[in-house]
Amino acid sequence: MDYFPVFLDLKNKRCLLVGGGDVATRKGRMLSKAGAVLRVVAPEISSELRELVAKHNGELHEREYHSNDVTDCVLAVAATDIESLNKKISDDAKQKNIPVNVVDTPELCTYITPAVIDRSPLMIAISSGGEAPVLARLVRAKLETLIPMSYGKLAHLASRWRERVKARFDNGDSRRKFWEKILQGPAAELAMNGQDEQADKILSDEIATEDESLIQGEVYLVGGGPGDPELLTLKALRLMQQADVVLYDRLVSDGVMDLVRRDAERIYVGKRRSEHAMQQENINQLLVDLAKQGTRVLRLKGGDPFIFGRGGEEIELLAQNHIPFQVVPGITAASGCAAYAGIPLTHRDYAQSVRFVTGHLKDDSINVQWPELANPTQTIVFYMGLVGLREICESLVAHGRAATTPVALIERGTTQQQRVLIADLATIADVVESQEVHAPTLFVVGDVVRLHENLSWFKGGL
Ligand code: SAH
């Protein structure tokens, strides 16, 4: 280990910062965040740095550096672009045993600053020992996406209850188990969503109960997006990695399933057209039963759970049974497929509104208000429209939409197998019949489809 990692308490402590440009301002920002009283010395000082100095009643010295500037400081930072001056600051500080950092010059430093992920009070510092700062920054970027912004709130929950939990569990082992359960359970989710009162209520109940069997589970209704796993939200990913059981259906892509916690139990609940592996009522009931056993259940759906996803039905029964749940939106097929096909759903020249319509057949016909869809300045996106495609096109034309209106059928959108078929209302049904088309497909109708020719960018693996 080349450096010993520490976190310094700089609140109300005087820190010397020599330099007044961009780099010094950046350093000043971090020091000020930690509550340091800045003593800034430089012939010219940026306006932001001046404000930072004023914030904690620091000192501004618009002049050259003097050796005694470092006196009474707990820390010194040299951020000038004059090598000899930086060296002098470093020597002066070392002589007085004051930790000193010279920006980008490790050999003159007695300490170096890490790349930081700030979820205060939770802090993560990353360092490459000054050897590869860009690598440290890349690692930080990776971790930033893995560690939710809301972990700060979680740390506050833990700190609020720390003493009470300590008093309740004097055995360190049971205390650790208690915290592990709390920090991954419904109280943690509530705290991260800013619902402190409810989170506190759960903690006080948990502390009061001796009975382990009272542990309550919860359900995460999560949108898995249209296929490309990189389109998952950070929240979806976090919940996917902490669930005990996952209920998923056919629309959830393999790439997305790969990101579910490895040892989570997986239950396939089907949903291919008209051959449901599990009836909707049974799915609803299963969610309730699992949660009642204390399980963290992930109900993972393709796209967005509230857009043609029956998400509402699934959580209604949970609400009736007072089971905690949360809903995480996903990128719906229309947004995902349109983006990856280079078809903006609205455009000032072509479409002022967009409609998402289900082309699902009910009693052998499509139950849609056709006259409302005739407006030529409106983009229409049909979900589940492949089977009724010919009927959809004929009805649109019969109700006044031009037969030459351009249309796109997007097959397996956002995945490596994505394919986009372009035609018009009069011809698409024949084009589709002459090809082998794989579900899922999305049907987009409107003049915006013309933009595909120029804006298509995603090539997939085909
Ligand atoms: N809740 C989902 C939609 C469920 S309905 C969402 O918000 O996206 C299922 C229909 O969505 C499919 O029949 C198809 O029309 C569409 N769909 C979902 N994923 C798709 C994809 N990757 N490519 C094309 N269409 C898709």
> What would the two tokens of residue 213 be?
């069997």
Instruction: Look at residue 361 and tell me whether its pLDDT is greater than 80.
Output: no
Q: Is the CB of 222 under 6 A from ligand 1?
A: no
Q: What are phi and psi of 61, to 5 degrees?
A: -125, 100
CATH number of 151-214: 1.10.8
Q: What pLDDT sits at residue 273?
A: 54
Question: Best mutation site among 273, 308, 387, 437 for ligand 1, i.e. most ligand atoms within 8 A of its Cβ?
Answer: 308
Ligand 1, atom 6: closest residue by C-alpha? 303
Per-residue model confidence (pLDDT) at position 275: 57
Residue 153's pLDDT band, with cuts at 50, 70 and 90, is very high
Gap from CA of 302 to ligand 1 centroid (Å): 7
Residue 245 CA: distances (Å) to CA of 165, 231, 265, 277, 302: 29, 22, 5, 17, 17
CATH number of the 14-113 domain: 3.40.50.720
19 CB neighbour count, 10 Å cutoff: 28
Given pLDDT bands bounded at 50, 70 and 90, which one contains residue 16? very high
* pLDDT 10s digits, 399-411: 999 999 999 999 9
Q: How does strand 14-18 pair with strand 75-78? A: parallel
Q: Are 302 and 252 in contact (CB under 8 A)?
A: yes
Residue type, 450: R
Domain with CATH 1.10.8 in the chain: 151-214
Whole-angstrom Cα distance, residue 144 to residue 7? Answer: 19
Question: Which among 303, 335, 349, 334 is positioned nearest to 454, based on CA atoms?
Answer: 349
pLDDT tens across 69-93, in order? 999 999 999 999 999 999 999 999 9
CATH of domain 334-455: 3.30.950.10
Rounded Cα gap, residues 309 and 297, in angstroms: 17
pLDDT at 432 over 80: yes
Question: What's the confidence (pLDDT) of residue 455?
Answer: 96
Cite the residue boundaries of each domain of the chain with CATH code 3.40.50.720.
14-113
Cα(242) to centroid(ligand 1), Å: 26
Whether the per-residue pLDDT at 370 is higher than 80: the answer is yes
Please give the distance, rounded to the nearest whole angstrom, from the Cα atom of residue 412 to the centre of ligand 1: 9
pLDDT digits (tens, 9 = 90+) for 21-46: 999 999 999 999 999 999 999 999 99
Angle at 424 between CA 418 and CA 430, to 5 degrees: 75
- Which stretch of 179-193, 255-269, 342-356, 420-434 has the lowest confidence by average pLDDT? 179-193
Residues 359-378, mean pLDDT to the nearest whole number: 86
Helix (H) or strand (E) holding 116: strand 115-119
- Confidence class of residue 213 from pLDDT cuts 50, 70 and 90? very low
- Average pLDDT of the chain? 92
Read off the DSSP letter of residue 155.
H
Residue 271 has pLDDT above 70, yes or no: no
Report yes or no: 338 and 379 within 8 Å, Cβ to Cβ.
no
How many Å separate Cα 297 from the centre of its chain?
A: 19
Q: Which CATH number is associated with domain 218-331?
A: 3.40.1010.10
Q: Active-site residue numbers?
A: 249, 271
Which residue lies with its CA nearest to atom 11 of ligand 1?
383
Amino acid letter for position 158:
A
Q: Is the CB of 226 under 6 A from ligand 1?
A: yes
**Where does 249-338 show beta strands of DSSP type E?**
265-268, 296-301, 325-328
Q: Which of 236, 370, 227, 219 is nearest to 283 (CA)?
A: 219
Residue-level pLDDT at 337: 98
Residue 1 pLDDT: 85
Question: Does the beta carbon of 227 lie inside 6 Å of ligand 1?
Answer: yes
Q: Is 385 helix (H, G, I), strand (E, B) or coil?
A: coil
For 252-328, strand residue ranges (E) read 265-268, 296-301, 325-328
Which residues belong to CATH 3.30.950.10 in the chain?
Answer: 334-455
The type of residue at 232 is L
Which residue lies with its CA nearest to atom 16 of ligand 1? Answer: 383
Does the pLDDT of residue 216 top 50, yes or no? Answer: yes
Rounded CA separation 190/101 (Å): 41
Q: What stretch(es) of the chain map to CATH 3.40.1010.10?
A: 218-331
* Backbone φ/ψ region at 12: left (φ over 0), alpha (ψ -120 to 50), beta: left
Residue carrying the six token digits 């590869």: 132
* Residue 276 CB neighbours (<10 A): 14
Q: What is the DSSP string of 53-73?
A: HHHTT-EEE-S---GGGGTT-
What is the band of 461 on the pLDDT scale with cuts at 50, 70, 90? Answer: low
Ligand 1 binding pocket includes 224 (Cβ within 6 Å) = no
Q: pLDDT tens digit string along 274-327?
A: 555 688 899 999 999 999 988 899 999 999 999 999 999 999 999 999 999 999
Q: Which residues contact 56 (CB under 8 A, 6 or more apart)?
A: 12, 32, 35, 36, 37, 38
Strand ranges for 244-368 from DSSP E: 245-248, 265-268, 296-301, 325-328, 353-358, 361-362, 365-366
Give the C-alpha separation, 208 to 438, whole Å.
Answer: 55
**Do the Cβ atoms of 388 and 449 come closer than 8 Å?**
no
| 176: pLDDT strictly greater than 80 | no
Residue 348's Cα: distance from chain center in Å? Answer: 30
**What is the side-by-side strand order in the sheet with 100-102?**
59-61, 37-41, 14-18, 75-78, 100-102
Indicate the annotated binding residues.
22-23, 43-44, 226, 302-304, 307, 332-333, 384, 413
Q: How far is CA 249 from CA 234, 281, 335, 338, 369, in A?
A: 21, 15, 20, 23, 29
The binding site for S-adenosyl-L-methionine comprises: 226, 302-304, 307, 332-333, 384, 413
Q: How far apart are CA 360 and CA 68, in angstroms?
A: 79
Count of other CB atoms within 10 angstroms of residue 449: 24
Q: What is the atom index within ligand 1 of the atom nearest the CA of 331?
A: 7
Q: Kindly give the distance from the C-alpha atom of residue 332 to the centroid of ligand 1, in angstroms, as a whole number.
A: 7
